[in-house]
A and B are shown apart, each in its own frame.
Chain A
Amino acid sequence: MLRFIAKRTLGLIVILFCVVSITFFLVRLMPGGPFDRERKLPEHIEKQLLAKYKLDGPLLDQYFNYLKDILHGDLRLSTKYRSRSVNEILAGALPVSATLGGIAFCIATLGGVLLGTLAASRQHTWIDRTAMLSALIAISLPSFVIGPLLVLLLAITFPLLPVGGWGTARSLILPSITLAAPYTAYIARLTRGSMLEVLTQDYIRTARAKGLSENKVIYKHALRVAILPVVSFLGPLAANLLTGSIVVESIFSIPGAGGFFVNSVLNRDGFLLAGVVIVYCTLLVAFNLLVDVMYGFLDRRIAIYD
């Protein structure tokens, strides 16, 4: 067990290293620099700027220096938000995104698993059909449609909830639903499919033959195995949700980190970009590791600790 975790952690560091390197060179190889303006800067000023942001010298030297700084926990200065460090910017925005993402994560996993289980246990009834149709609709609609539609309905036509903003619990409701909707639908479909497969297995017939109630059969015996595909989806889900979504955050004017993914590329703000990528990638690989460990607890037949 410990050996397994140690081995996977080593793999995590390798992947993280590759991702940081790819990101670093991608940004530097893109046309256009962080200080390009309509009017070209005087040469000595540009030189000073490049020196201040440690963007001078040979590319490989810059790369190794950057790796050294990262190892010391310094994500460097942002070239767009002048003289603010990437650490500072992320420390301000990430908690906001993580709060929203955490709520959405709970909605998506609990709601999705419940909906999928319900649909599978009532296969071929109207409950099943409605649940699956609405799941497919939620997958087919982009979040920038779901969001404004919810606003139109629940904030404008029937003014029950605030249109946007950040700070009160009520203002969290619409954005977290918008953020969670497609993932809830995806998890519901996943759960239903795997539940239907599990329900045909022999041990379920045995459980029923023993005279267990249908609820006990489904929620205690079947769900434990049927939930495995959902569990392996939780890694990417957590990484995606916790780092924020630019669409949901811009629709509801939430000061989160989602916008950095886009704006840092457009502004050629390489260190901010590398910072968000590092956070995203660390979350992704760490949650995947956690998921693998959970797998072993949920299904003892799976031997992953080789």
Chain B
Amino acid sequence: MTSSRSPWRRLQRNPAAVLSILILILVAFSAIFGPGFMPRGSGEVTRESFLPPSEAHFFGTDLNGRDLLFRVLIGARISLLVGLAGAFISFVVGIVYGMIAGYAGGRADSLMMRLVDILYAIPRLIFLLVLISALDPILRELMVGHGLQSLVGYSKIVILIFSLGLTEWLTMARIVRGQVLSLKSQQFVVAARSLGQTHRNIIFRHLLPNLVGVAIVYLTLTVPAVILDESFLSFLGVGIQAPLASWGLLLSDAAQVINPIKGYWWLLIFPAAAMSLTLLAMNFLGDGLRDAFDPRQRR
């Protein structure tokens, strides 16, 4: 392995990671601009249900006669949005929590980490469901109260982002705390402290820049995890709801109509391919980033 100083250089030498970046750019572009190029009314309910893939409908049509390609692209928008935003929330919460615990040390640290242990011991699914069913009516009321009736349909997306972000930060907090603990004992931090630098300076100038790399690597692995969780919730019927679409919702619709007599294979294959290609690329990229940032710990 040739060692070069910049992690980005190392990343560029990893063909799987470069290919993943290209795939992700492609997916993002087609999700943002793709639906605009489709014929009008592609997302409307028609009588042409369960048409197999053809030239008119590349991915076929679903139960309600909607074009599946259109649904997959719209679903990509929501899945990607929820994944990115949810992972970002977990990133912020995890860093803040982990830094406070690690920097404060002592009793505060062990108390905060015991809380993380306890939260780990409750199945995440239950937390998610409780958060969703508690927050949903509150947000709806807020939206109606502020004259935002037109946005009520999207309230579920906001709820999902927050619920997933607020349940996914535990591992991030552990990683960040570990980093802070090991950085804190290193000489440059000890020196900064004995020179009488403020806590603010030490945290923002010395600790944060040194741990953000590790945190970002873990963030890239959190995005696919959140997308997977969202699809799981939509599958259970507590996530995104029609007429909106997410990959999870499309897959859940497909899983319901697949049976031995009628093999509507396209309903399952195309959303599954879109979703797994994206998640695969994200995981490859995350692995590549980890190797690039930490060449000692090769996996």
A: which residues have CB within 8 A of B? 15, 18-19, 22-23, 26-27, 29-32, 136-137, 139-142, 144-145, 147-149, 151-152, 155-157, 163, 189, 192-193, 196-197, 243, 246-247, 251, 261-262, 265-266, 273, 277, 280-281, 284-285
A129: shortest Cβ distance to chain B, in Å?
Answer: 10
Q: Across the interface, which residues of B come within 8 angstroms of A147, CB to CB?
A: 255
Whether the Cβ atoms of B279 and A189 lie closer than 8 Å is no
Whether the Cβ atoms of A247 and B133 lie closer than 8 Å is no
Bound Cα distance from A29 to B263, whole angstroms = 45
B254 touches A (CB below 8 Å): yes
B179 touches A (CB below 8 Å): no
Whether the Cβ atoms of A30 and B130 lie closer than 8 Å is yes
Partner of B283 from A23, A140, A151 at Cβ < 8 Å: A140
B299 touches A (CB below 8 Å): yes
B125 touches A (CB below 8 Å): yes
Whether the Cβ atoms of B126 and A31 lie closer than 8 Å is no
Most buried by B among A142, A155, A192: A142
B: which residues have CB within 8 A of A? 117-118, 121-123, 125-126, 129-130, 133-134, 137, 224, 228, 231-232, 235-236, 238, 248, 251-252, 254-255, 258, 260, 263, 265, 268, 272, 275-276, 279-280, 283-284, 287, 297-299
Q: Across the interface, which residues of B come within 8 angstroms of A26, CB to CB?
A: 126, 130
Whether the Cβ atoms of B255 and A144 lie closer than 8 Å is yes
Whether the Cβ atoms of A31 and B118 lie closer than 8 Å is no
B278: shortest Cβ distance to chain A, in Å?
Answer: 8
Bound Cα distance from A35 to B255, whole angstroms = 32
Q: Across the interface, which residues of A come within 8 angstroms of B134, CB to CB?
A: 29-31
Bound Cα distance from A277 to B124, whole angstroms = 11
Bound Cα distance from A22 to B272, whole angstroms = 37
B287: shortest Cβ distance to chain A, in Å?
Answer: 8
Further pairs besides A15-B118, A137-B280, A155-B260: 9, Cβ < 8 Å? A29-B134, A30-B130, A137-B276, A139-B283, A149-B268, A163-B260, A261-B126, A262-B238, A285-B121
Whether the Cβ atoms of B268 and A247 lie closer than 8 Å is no
A226: shortest Cβ distance to chain B, in Å?
Answer: 13
Q: Across the interface, which residues of A come within 8 angstroms of B255, CB to CB?
A: 144, 147-148, 251
Contact A246/B236 with A148-B258, A149-B268, A281-B121 known, Cβ cut-off 8 Å: yes
Q: Across the interface, which residues of A come within 8 angstroms of B254, CB to CB?
A: 148
Bound Cα distance from A277 to B123, whole angstroms = 7
A-B contact pairs, 27 of them (CB 8 A): A19-B118, A19-B121, A26-B126, A27-B130, A31-B134, A137-B280, A140-B224, A140-B228, A140-B276, A141-B272, A142-B232, A142-B251, A144-B232, A144-B251, A144-B255, A145-B268, A148-B254, A155-B260, A156-B260, A156-B263, A189-B299, A243-B123, A265-B129, A265-B133, A266-B129, A266-B133, A284-B121
B100: shortest Cβ distance to chain A, in Å?
Answer: 21
Contact A142/B299 with A32-B133, A163-B260 known, Cβ cut-off 8 Å: no
Q: Across the interface, which residues of A come within 8 angstroms of B231, CB to CB?
A: 142, 144
Whether the Cβ atoms of B125 and A262 lie closer than 8 Å is yes
Q: Across the interface, which residues of A come within 8 angstroms of B252, CB to CB?
A: 144
Bound Cα distance from A151 to B260, whole angstroms = 9
Q: Which residue of B lies closest to A129 (CB)?
A: B16
Bound Cα distance from A142 to B231, whole angstroms = 8
Partner of A277 from B126, B251, B275, B280 at Cβ < 8 Å: B126
Bound Cα distance from A141 to B125, whole angstroms = 18
Whether the Cβ atoms of A22 and B276 lie closer than 8 Å is no
Whether the Cβ atoms of B130 and A151 lie closer than 8 Å is no
B168: shortest Cβ distance to chain A, in Å?
Answer: 15
A179: shortest Cβ distance to chain B, in Å?
Answer: 14
Whether the Cβ atoms of A136 and B280 lie closer than 8 Å is yes
Most buried by B among A137, A144, A262, A280: A144
